[in-house]
Structure 1
Amino acid sequence: MNNPSSSSAARPLQPATLCIHAGTHIDPATRGACSPIFPSTAYAYPNATNENIYPRYFNAPNQRVIARKLAALEQGEAALVFGSGMAAISTLLFAVLNPGDHAVFQADLYGGTHHFVTKELTRFGVRISFGRDAAELAAAVRPDTRLIYVESPSNPLLRCIDLAAIATIGRAKGILTAVDNTFATPINQNPLTLGLDVVLHSATKYLNGHSDLNAGAVISTSAVIQRVTASAVNHGGMLDAHACGQLERGLKTLSLRVRQHNENAAEIARFLQGHPAVERVNYPGLVDHPTHAIAARQMRGFGGMLSFELRDPGQVDNLLSRLRIIFPALSLGGVESLICVPSRTSHRTLSIVERREAGISEGLLRLSVGLEEAADLIADLEQALVKQ
């Protein structure tokens, strides 16, 4: 097994190097540079380690390759890879919460997470509270609170929460803290180094990066991952070997891709900020974004996601129909630029009142900035906005 992240060299390896080399399985028979794909669901027993190897146990070779690579990138001890982001999130929550426990969640979560928490988790007797920032989350903590769960930057308003402050709250009260790091990626932000206990990803997005795979991940200490694994084997949300091989290939270019996503999004955010048809731009890299100072403290780059609100919400469909390069579609984090209307897609399961409270209007558009030339993307937006 090749594991450069544990090298004895004094200088730690940088993320771009870890993306390519960390966790790679070097097959002793061929010495190939790429991890082989092991599709087997039947492994010999007894074996050298006397371990029951089975994909649903999250211990098959290709699953372990991804786990090692993600643990290295997020500077954690261990990781698990799942069949989707929601599989990772739901398994973590079921693993660490019991009936009668209380958990505190960030109010402006991804719609799928919010829906699961309010409609599914509560059915099992877990009590929940919400808060919009570190102060509100701290105020919501009770003696029976077992988890604080946040997302930074948030979907779709790109609000950033003070992760170090959340970690301090958790440590002081003995509460597990978790963060969805999907929008930031481990290239732009490492929450574990800020004191958080658990990091989650929808690997469908930037980690894979090519809009052709569903996956999720949880990264933490070995003790927490053992606890999550005990629940995960019962829920069965693992990722198969072929998908793991595809995800490993995507991860090798993560650092390079994210750098370009960062640059393109910053240019487009500045363009949209100055356009008369746009009421507001939500991008943490803009100095007037309400959480810019927090983002600047804890992020190395501001990411490839932004959202913007049209002055006339009635022009949303006209804008979408006139775009030539930017593709109206669900999901995010791929090489191509994608745009959607959160009130109709990612947050459609929220009620009108819940969307209003979350700041998600009918005129809000979420843009996942891809790797095309920024000038071409700006020209596409300009021609679509001018014709409104």
Structure 2
Amino acid sequence: MTDNFSGAVCGPASLVNKMMDLQQGSLMLLGPTMNAKVAFELSERIPHLGLRMKEHSQRALLFARRLKNLGLSVIYPGLEEHPQHQLLKSMHNAEYGFCGLICLDMETEERANRLMNHLQNYGQFGFMAVSLGYYETLMSCSGSSTSSELNPEEKKLAGISPGLVRMSIGYIGTFEQKWAQLEKALTRLNEPLCKN
């Protein structure tokens, strides 16, 4: 699985022109120019980006609410109890929701990995990956992947518990189908481990 990231440099013409200077410009020296084929493929996806982002965010909010109702520890700015919910609400575009990324605290790395393993290998719910940009759900245990370089004190300060599972919610399949897969994995997580 490969990810294609792109972006735009925005600012006054003087800034952009300075960055594009052939001799000293960072855009010229560092080469952040996208492969033409990749740029073309991304340009074909832009017309429906808005539709995808709406679905991405709507599903994340539904997942967050249902997981919260199951009594799980969920971190999602769309939930009213999130400490920065009102701040985000004052800034966000309501049509596009609160984002498509939720965090589920499974308390221990072992429980987080068991959940993700089941979701990927048995539930067809999504994939374990450290990326965020894909149409399928992507998930990772942040403390042992993207934030593994932080020491325990830094992780605690950042709110990263050993079992924090970050999920970028995809939009493939129906919501109820994906919810059933997640709910089944959570049920299996509470069953005793089988030993051979």
Same fold (TM over 0.5): yes
Shift of 1:334: 1.5
Partner in structure 2 of residue 374 of structure 1: 175
Cα distance in 2, alignment partners of residues 283 and 246 from structure 1: 31
Partner in structure 1 of residue 48 of structure 2: 253
Partner in structure 1 of residue 31 of structure 2: 236
Cα distance in 2, alignment partners of residues 346 and 221 from structure 1: 34
Cα distance in 2, alignment partners of residues 218 and 349 from structure 1: 29
Q: Deviations over 1:154-184 (max 9, x none)?
A: xxxxxxxxxxxxxxxxxxxxxxxxxxxxxxx
Shift of 1:305: 0.9
> Is the contact made by 2:107 and 2:162 (CA closer than 8 Å) also made in structure 1?
no
Shift of 1:264: 0.7
Shift of 1:212: 4.0
Partner in structure 2 of residue 220 of structure 1: 11
Cα distance in 1, alignment partners of residues 52 and 91 from structure 2: 20
Runs of 4+ displaced beyond 6 Å? none
Question: For 2:77, which of 269, 284, 290 is the aligned residue?
Answer: 284
1:244 corresponds to which letter in structure 2? A
1:224 corresponds to which letter in structure 2? L
Shift of 1:297: 0.6
Partner in structure 2 of residue 163 of structure 1: none
Cα distance in 2, alignment partners of residues 235 and 260 from structure 1: 35
Distance 1:282 1:328, change over 3 A: same
Question: For 1:384, which of 172, 182, 185 is the aligned residue?
Answer: 185
Partner in structure 2 of residue 299 of structure 1: 92
Question: For 1:273, which of 57, 68, 86 is the aligned residue?
Answer: 68
Cα distance in 2, alignment partners of residues 334 and 218 from structure 1: 23
> What 5-or-longer segments of structure 2 have no aligned partner?
190-196
> What 5-or-longer segments of structure 1 have no aligned partner?
1-209
> Is the contact made by 1:211 and 1:333 (CA closer than 8 Å) also made in structure 2?
no
TM-score (norm 1): 0.43
Partner in structure 2 of residue 262 of structure 1: 57
Instruction: Give the number of equivalent residue pairs.
Output: 177
Distance 1:212 1:231, change over 3 A: closer
The answer on 1:318 being equivalent to 2:132 is: no
> Is the contact made by 2:102 and 2:167 (CA closer than 8 Å) also made in structure 1?
yes
2:61 corresponds to which letter in structure 1? A
3-state SS of 1:327 partner: strand
Cα distance in 1, alignment partners of residues 134 and 77 from structure 2: 20
> Is the contact made by 1:339 and 1:365 (CA closer than 8 Å) also made in structure 2?
yes
Q: Deviations over 1:334-355 (max 9, x none)?
A: 1111111111222122233222
Shift of 1:240: 2.2
Distance 1:228 1:212, change over 3 A: same
1:293 corresponds to which letter in structure 2? Q
Partner in structure 1 of residue 193 of structure 2: none
TM-score (norm 2): 0.82
Cα distance in 1, alignment partners of residues 47 and 183 from structure 2: 34
- The correspondence of residues 1-388 of structure 1 with structure 2, limited to 5 A, is 212-229=3-20, 230-276=25-71, 278=72, 280-300=73-93, 301-323=97-119, 324=123, 325-372=125-172, 373-388=174-189
Structure with the largest fraction of helix: 2
Cα distance in 1, alignment partners of residues 17 and 103 from structure 2: 37
Q: CA RMSD in A?
A: 1.9
Cα distance in 2, alignment partners of residues 241 and 312 from structure 1: 44
Partner in structure 2 of residue 52 of structure 1: none
Distance 1:344 1:228, change over 3 A: farther
Distance 1:293 1:313, change over 3 A: same
